[in-house]
Amino acid sequence: MTVPKIPVIVLTGFLGSGKTTILKHLLSLDEMRDSAVLINEFGEIALDHHLVADVREDAIILASGCVCCSVRNDLVRALCELWVKAARHEIPPFRRVILETTGLADPTPVLGTLAKNGLVTSIYRRAGLVTTVDAQHAMAQLEHHPEAVKQVALADQIVVTKADLTGPEERAGLVRRLRTIQCFAPILESARGNVAPNDLFGTGKSTNGSRPSDSSADEHAHDGAGHVHDGSVRTFSIETGMLSFHRFALWLATVSQLYGGRLLRMKGILHVDDEPTPVVVQSVQHVVYPTESLPRWPSGEPRTRLIFIVQDFDDELIARFRTSIAELAPDADATAMHVP
Ligand SMILES: Nc1nc2c(ncn2[C@@H]2O[C@H](COP(=O)(O)OP(=O)(O)OP(=O)(O)O)[C@@H](O)[C@H]2O)c(=O)[nH]1
């Protein structure tokens, strides 16, 4: 008797395009609860697994670094461990795996691993690459970041996100641009992560792993040299204590206007005055999104943790960001606050 292989859905999409938002929505649906989740983040501090924790506590975080480069072995290990743990009843059984990549991932080696690694293919099958495309930012991202183009080119299913924040003409223009890169994959629109699993995994042409262009993904699959990210893109994180929310909001509004084009992504959890629970803050380039609250501190002491993914920032500018954040503490001298 052959045991059916467990489908692995890869969720990719450029920085801040809405992967975690969709993942959270999917995991909140009854029919998707039996999903195991792997999350890969770029940067020293992982945050996304905390954001999905209220719907799926046991999301596994892949070591920091990009899954398309240094952590491919971690992916193999994590997939094998999942299977072993479920077999030993240490975790609930699962019927699919959803892997969220970093926003800078080239999905090629991930797809290659899913298609070619003997250990992985004995248990799992690749069940499609879903690419989120940010209706607010994608035009510029596709222009400047080859990773964004690759994510679209390899997609089995494209989801244009942030439909609630953009007009139909803007989205129609984006779809025309996407069709110059990818003419096959179905394109869905979503607002606030709202997508039906059937639309995502039912209509994508490779839900059975038979995508005609699979072979190209596999052949590129990685030569061993790894995918090189644009050297001008860097990440840094800042950990600190309590901040004044009011001053932080002002600071963020200012830096996102000043540096928006180069401040590709910022996300973090804040320990702020008057708030017992963490406040989640996020921005993508010039756009600062509404804050959310997490129900509790993930672990240990309340602490502010911020992750920045930036382009063309030198060491001095990063140092200035650090100094200016330190000046946002509630007890800091208000007149001393300056923008980096
Ligand atoms: N209004 C609105 N906001 C959205 C939508 N999708 C995502 N956002 C917001 O955009 C920000 C980034 O969304 P995420 O889901 O974290 O994006 P991501 O692709 O997981 O980000 P990275 O993992 O950092 O690359 C968050 O503040 C979301 O709340 C949407 O469809 N509508």
Residue of higher predicted confidence among 321 and 67: 321
Decide if 47 contacts 40 (C-beta within 8 A).
Answer: no
Same domain, 126 and 240: no
Residue 227 lies in a domain: no
pLDDT given at position 207: 34
- What is the CB < 6 Å shell around ligand 1? 13, 15-21, 48, 103, 132, 161-162, 164-165, 190-193, 265, 267, 282, 284, 289
Q: From ligand 1's centre to the CA of 202, what distance in Å?
A: 23
Same domain, 145 and 287: no
- Where does residue 276 rank: exposed (0-12), middle (13-18), buried (19+ CB within 10 A)? exposed
Smallest Cα–Cα separation from 138: which of 267, 307, 15?
Answer: 15
Same domain, 276 and 179: no
Query: Can you give the pTM of this predicted structure?
Result: 0.85
Decide if 151 contacts 180 (C-beta within 8 A).
Answer: no
How does pLDDT run across 191-200, given as a tens digit for each residue?
A: 999 999 988 8
pLDDT class of 254 with cuts at 50, 70, 90: very high
- CATH classification at residue 317: 3.30.1220.10
Residue 133 lies in a domain: yes
Residue 33 lies in a domain: yes
- CATH classification at residue 104: 3.40.50.300
pLDDT given at position 106: 86
Same domain, 131 and 238: no
Distance, CA of 29 to CA of 27 (rounded, Å): 5
Q: Whose CA is nearest to atom 21 of ligand 1?
A: 16
Domain that includes residue 43, residue range: 6-220
How does pLDDT run across 100-136, given as a tens digit for each residue?
A: 998 988 888 888 889 888 989 999 999 999 999 999 9
Average pLDDT estimate for 209-219: 38
Q: From ligand 1's centre to the CA of 319, what distance in Å?
A: 27
64, pLDDT greater than 70: no
Average model confidence (pLDDT) across the chain? 84
pLDDT given at position 332: 75
Q: From ligand 1's centre to the CA of 134, what distance in Å?
A: 9
Mutate to test the pocket of ligand 1, among 11, 20, 99 (most ligand atoms within 8 A of CB): 20
Same domain, 101 and 250: no
pLDDT given at position 213: 39
29, pLDDT greater than 50: yes
Domain boundary among 178, 193, 220: 220
How does pLDDT run across 179-193, given as a tens digit for each residue?
A: 999 988 999 999 999
Q: From ligand 1's centre to the CA of 19, what distance in Å?
A: 7
Same domain, 80 and 216: yes
ipTM for this model: 0.99
Domain boundary among 171, 187, 220: 220
pLDDT given at position 110: 87
Structural domains counted in the chain? 2
Domain boundary among 169, 190, 220: 220
Q: From ligand 1's centre to the CA of 118, what distance in Å?
A: 35
CB atoms within 10 A of CB 22: 24
Same domain, 215 and 274: no
Residue 298 lies in a domain: yes
